[in-house]
Structures are given as structure tokens and as C-alpha cells.
Amino acid sequence: MMNDPLPFTTLILSASLVVQVVIGMLILASVMWWAMIFQRVLLLGRASRDLRHFEDYFWSGTNLRELYDELRQSQELTGIETIFVAALREYDRLTDQAEADPDAVMTGVQRAARVAVSREEASLERHLGFLATVSSTSPFIGLFGTVIGIMNAFRAVANMSQATLATVAPGIAEALIATAVGIFAAVPALIGFNRFSARVEVLVKSYEAFVDELISILDHHSRTQGSGEGQT
């Protein structure tokens, strides 16, 4: 009758110190990226909902000035609201200047809005670099632990008078666990990084499309207002 395979925890506890340290690092990295994945899921989901709700309200025929005044008093703004407020604030600042050129006003508003979009993009991409690092380095860290473990196993075999598969297999199994843990840490992190990067890209493109539409509205309003003042 064949012997029962060694439990996973027994293999880890019986591994060398270096292999245990490597496995511990990979497990710690796994715990951290799982926490980051859940946090990113909540953040990106909320940003998508906020964008959808704001655009529905924005295009429902609401007065831009009233909306701006309302949001300006708010202590907590969503991503799209922050962009809208930044654009309207710059628009007010530039149009208050004497003999403001409409083209210069729109250039300044667009610049302010783009800066706000860039800041929101940086906020959405926070921690994604860690996921990319884990996904790219974990297999190599695990492989390092495996190499050390196999070297230790061969060293132990060299000290034996008679080596059999039964004596060598546990040491190799201990070493291969490091590679398995490294792959386990890398694959979900890579999937999460690619998934979240795609969602951030979609959100940023939506922000930029909104900015273009807002600039068009403000440009029309600025030129219409300027034309009306010129006729009076």
C-alpha cells in the first residue's frame, strides 16, 4: 500500500528557511493584492455608477450654473463632478477678465479639464503598479525558492549512503511548492491588472468625451453671450 502524500503545510514547515521565507513573501503578496483587487473593484464600480448618474442628470436639461453652484458647495465630489467643477471654475475665472477672448477662454477651460481628468486617471490607476509587479516577479521569486530547495535536496542526498526516490521526492516536492505558490500569486494579479487597466481606460475615455461635449456647450454659450453684448 502506498504511503499517503505529505500534507501541503507539512511540506512547507519541513522546507529550508530560505524556501519558507520565499513562500511567506509570496503568500503576503497574495494577501495584499487580493485586498487591492477588492478595493479596486469597489472603486471602479462606484466611479462607473457616478459617471452614469451624473451624465443622466447633466443631459436631463438641468441648468449648468445651478448644477455648478450646487456642486461647488459639496464636500465630497465624484470623479466626473470634480472634472465638471474644475472646468466651470476656470471658465468663470477667465470670463470675468475684461475683453476675454473666447478662444483663449476655451483653451484655458480645456487645459483645466484635462488636468482634472489626468488626476482622476492617476487616482483610478493607484495600486495597479503593484499588481503588475507581483504578476511579473512572483514566478521568478518562486523559481528562486525552488532552485534553493532542489540544491538542498541534492545536498542531503549526497550525504546519504543510499538514495532512493522515496528519500529524494519529499525534498523536491518542498522545493516545487515555491514555484506553485509563485504561479498562484502571479496569475490572478495579472488578470486583475489587465482587467482594471481596461476599465480605467474606458472611464478615462468617457471623461474625455464628456469634457469635449462640455467645452462645446461652453464655447457656444461664450460666443452667444459675446455676440449679444456686442449688439447692445
Give pLDDT, residue 105.
Answer: 84
Determine the pLDDT at residue 203: 95
Sign of CA dihedral 135, 138, 140, 142: negative
- How much is the pLDDT for 1? 40
Q: Can you say whether residue 43 is alpha, beta or left, with left for phi > 0 and alpha for psi between -120 and 50 degrees?
A: alpha
> Cell match 492617476: residue?
122
C-beta separation of 83 from 210 below 8 A: yes
pLDDT at res. 180:
87
Q: Does residue 104 carry a pLDDT above 50? A: yes
Spatial contact of 180 and 142, defined as CB atoms under 8 Å apart: yes
Residues 201-231 have pLDDT tens digits of 999 999 999 999 999 988 887 777 655 554 3
What's the pLDDT at 20?
82
Encode pLDDT of 19-52 as tens digits.
Answer: 788 888 888 988 888 898 899 999 999 999 999 9
In this prediction, residues 56-60 reach a mean pLDDT of 89
pLDDT tens sequence across 136-174 = 888 898 888 888 888 877 777 776 666 666 666 667 777
Closest to 146 in 3D by CA, of 174, 117, 119, 120: 174
Torsion 160-162-167-171 (CA) sign: positive
